[in-house]
A and B are shown apart, each in its own frame.
Chain A
Amino acid sequence: MLLETHDLHVRFSTQNGALHAVDGVSLGVGRGESVGLVGESGCGKSTLAKAVLRLLPVAAGRVLFDGQDVGTLSARDLQPLRRRMQIVFQDPFGSLNPRHTVESILTAPLVVHGLGDRQERRRRVEEIVGQVGLSSSALSRYPHEFSGGQRQRIGIARALILKPDLVICDEPVSALDLSIQAQILNLLVGMKRALGLSYLFISHDLSVVRFISDRVLVMYLGRIVESAAGDDLWQAPLHPYTRALMQAVPDPARRRQAPALSGDLPSPENVPPGCRFHPRCPLATEICRRQDPAFRELRPQHAVACHHAEA
């Protein structure tokens, strides 16, 4: 595995006490694999991404990147790893510094990591800009001169210029128009093939995750509740939350049908006891209110945390 987390916990302190944003997550991303992470707002998916990159402190558990414990490395020893794992953000407006030209945005990582001389850096910047589908005339411009889709290309170029092994994509197409989404998704697939990348692809959009992923993890209130490879999840989801998510995707086949799931998303400040999904779950019974279900493999490569998954 290129990336592994073991029982990872991330906490924030709030006025009402500790908030468990990530509450015991174990996952793995293999070399060249594309792992989708699905969940709604407040489930902790972006927090998980930042903790993996050590942009947030880890409260407990471990993050291993290529066998090295990211959490315990010194800042100096972390630096070579930073080169190998990168992130693409959701907001194409907030993720680029408005005061820098595209060239300076793309050159800075090379300078910081001491890569190449001036000419070599210029060559690499021009190469990556071409690879993400922009012309080199873009280099002298500022971010505000580009459309959302083009900015996202710049953000992808910045993530890829250091030739990383793992890229965490945090909702990279959610802020884009439909016709632009396809362009960016195809670009990400193309770059994955060309550079042999691994993706941890975070999104709330199941269709997008289904397209880009080899394996999918479903997250609810800080936990992974289901994980499955390939089409298994989509064909035969085991967790009632996964099923509810899939049914909530608008579909012409369900004309004017009431939604599957009632109730509001609980706040991570106030996690229900027992199974954290039980207040919204159509299958909930007494045991769900009392006991937190274990995450167990029910079928090959298909694990779920639910007392009633066999039903």
Chain B
Amino acid sequence: MAATVETSGIAPVGRRALRAFLRNPTAIVGSLFLAFVAMLSLMAPWLYPEDPLSMVARPFLWPGQNPAFPLGTDSLGRDVTAGLVWGGRISLAVGLAATCLGVSFGIVVGSTAGYFGGRIDNLLVRLIEIFQTLPSFLLLVVLVAIAQPTIETVTFAIAIVTWPTVARLVRAEFRTLRERDFVTAARALGFGHIRIVMLEILPNALPPIIVTASVLVATAILMESALSFLGLSDPNLVSWGSMIGSSRELLRSAWYLSAIPGIAIVCTVLSINLIGDALNDALNPRSPGIE
């Protein structure tokens, strides 16, 4: 009898995806840059133990003028390098936390709607639509303005404007996956709803969620920067956006003050998007990256 198992030697999906991801040069570039930014941010308390808001030198030192302050100082004599490192901390923390919150909530709402369907689905879809029809940045500004700009409220507000994207995606995935035979089999075997959702369907819906989440981190960083630029951020913390915001009147005289944090934002967002693209290729079973 056919007890022979074809040994095609294909690794499980996750490991296969990782290998495909690591073969992608843009993924490597993106990951390396992001790792560099993350490392600097994590080491900020050791690299620049002093508060980045304290005035440490003569104002308007241009980059390269004084080797102690490689990226110069701003109009109040604050170290731009220190600001950049500490600001990266805020940008990444807000980006990651807001995405985690938004994705978690989006998964809960989207999977409930997609799995149960019917009236629950109708209700939740209306809710999603309400949030999606509101202009998201305006909503964000209003939320932060009402709730006082602290790092927590900014994070929370960004999560509130991003979850509907995730919910929509998860709902669509669940709606197709719940019709698959292996889910029917699970129901016929008497599996509970939570088990089916968590162990049968969700693992199969993860690839697109991961890809979307990576892009959402970039979006969240941009949102945080935009809020800070408008002054809607914690006044006691430096972020890339607030650095640009506070120097926007000096754009003609000291353009480096806006350009340096601007470049940091662009490069970070770009590297995250590169990672997202590579993840999409690696996790998408139809892409030629994996057989």
Contacts and interface: CB of A to CB of B under 8 A. Distances in A.
Interface in B1-29: 1-8, 10, 12-13
A178 interface: no
B190 to A, nearest CB: 4
B192 A145 contact: no
A89 to B, nearest CB: 4
B181 A108 contact: no
A99 B203 contact: yes
Given A133-B2, A146-B6, A150-B5, A89 B181 contact: yes
A162 interface: yes
Given A97-B204, A108-B199, A145 B10 contact: yes
B99 to A, nearest CB: 23
A89 B184 CA distance: 9
Given A94-B180, A138-B5, A55 B188 contact: yes
A112 B5 contact: no
Given A133-B2, A145-B8, A112 B190 contact: yes
B5 A144 contact: no
Contact of B184 (A55, A134, A144, A183): A55
A141 to B, nearest CB: 7
A150 B2 contact: yes
Contact of A133 (B1, B12, B186, B188): B1
B191 interface: yes
A112 B192 contact: yes
Contact of B2 (A50, A98, A99, A183): A183
Nearest to A80: B190
A82 B189 contact: yes
A144 B180 CA distance: 16
A280 B31 CA distance: 65
A158 interface: yes
A137 B155 CA distance: 49
Interface in A66-119: 78-79, 82-83, 85-87, 89-91, 94-100, 108-109, 112-113
A1 B250 CA distance: 89
A216 interface: no
A150 B2 CA distance: 8
B130 interface: no
Contact of A112 (B7, B195, B203): B195
Interface string A139-180: 001101111011000010011001000000000000000000
B65 to A, nearest CB: 57
Contact of A98 (B6, B13, B188): B13
Given A82-B188, A158-B185, A99 B5 contact: no
Given A91-B181, A99-B203, A99-B204, A55 B5 contact: no
A54 to B, nearest CB: 9
Interface residues of A, number: 42
B180 A83 contact: no
Contacts of B199: 100, 108
A53 interface: yes
A142 to B, nearest CB: 6
B5 A134 contact: yes
A97 B188 contact: no
Contacts of B7: 145
Of the candidates A83, A142, A144, A155, the one having the most CB atoms from chain B within 10 angstroms of its own CB is A144
Contacts of A83: 190
Nearest to A170: B181
Contacts of A98: 13, 204
Interface in A171-203: 183
Contacts of B12: 142
Given A99-B203, A108-B189, 14 more contacts: A50-B184, A90-B181, A97-B200, A97-B204, A99-B204, A100-B199, A108-B195, A112-B191, A133-B1, A133-B2, A134-B5, A135-B3, A150-B2, A150-B5
Interface of A: 50, 53, 55, 78-79, 82-83, 85-87, 89-91, 94-100, 108-109, 112-113, 133-135, 137-138, 141-142, 144-147, 149-150, 155, 158-159, 162, 183
9 contacts: A86-B188, A89-B185, A94-B182, A99-B204, A108-B199, A112-B192, A112-B195, A138-B5, A158-B189
| 4 nearest A-B residue pairs (beta carbon) | A82-B190, A95-B181, A99-B203, A133-B1
Interface of B: 1-8, 10, 12-13, 180-182, 184-192, 195, 199-200, 203-204
